Amino acid sequence: MASPALKSGETLEDRCGLVTQVTNRKYPKLKEVDDVLGGAAAWENVDSTAESCPKCEHPRAYFMQLQTRSADEPMTTFYKCCNAQCGHRWRD
Ligand SMILES: [Zn+2]
């Protein structure tokens, strides 16, 4: 009497409609962000929020909060545009 168990896990596709295809393109001005975050792979499992992209005005962006310096300093919020064609990254 075993019934097949279907797992319904939320994926990035559900959240943003597109899966960002990670490329090797690097934007020099974002090197600092990449250094902090450990590269594009760090964005694969993060949540998205209603933050509009300053570049393409897409209404949603992935976000991460990190301690960039010492524990005494406030968290820095990093964003990445949910538009796979844009992929713009910025920080607070
Ligand atoms: Zn964008």
Please name the residues in contact with 80: beta carbons below 8 A apart, sequence gap of 6 or more. 43, 46, 61, 62, 63, 87, 88, 89
Cα–Cα distance measured from residue 45 to residue 43, given in angstroms and rounded to the nearest whole number: 6
Q: Is the residue at 69 inside a domain? A: yes
Could you tell me the pTM of the whole model? 0.56
Q: Is 66 among the domain residues?
A: yes
Containing domain of residue 85, as a range? 45-91
Binding residue ranges:
53, 56, 81, 86
The helix/strand/coil state of 46 is: coil
List the CATH number of the domain containing 61.
2.20.25.10
- Strand-pairing partners, residue 28, are none
Residue 4, in any domain of the structure: no
Res. 81: pLDDT tops 90: yes
**pLDDT at residue 29 above 60?**
no
Domain count, the chain: 1
Distance CA 8, CA 4 (A): 12
- Decide: 86 and 58 in contact? Cβ < 8 Å: yes
| Separation of CA 54 and ligand 1 centre (Å) | 7
Alpha carbon of 55 to ligand 1 centroid (Å) = 5
Residue 80 lies in a domain: yes
* Percent of the chain clearing pLDDT 90 (strictly above): 34
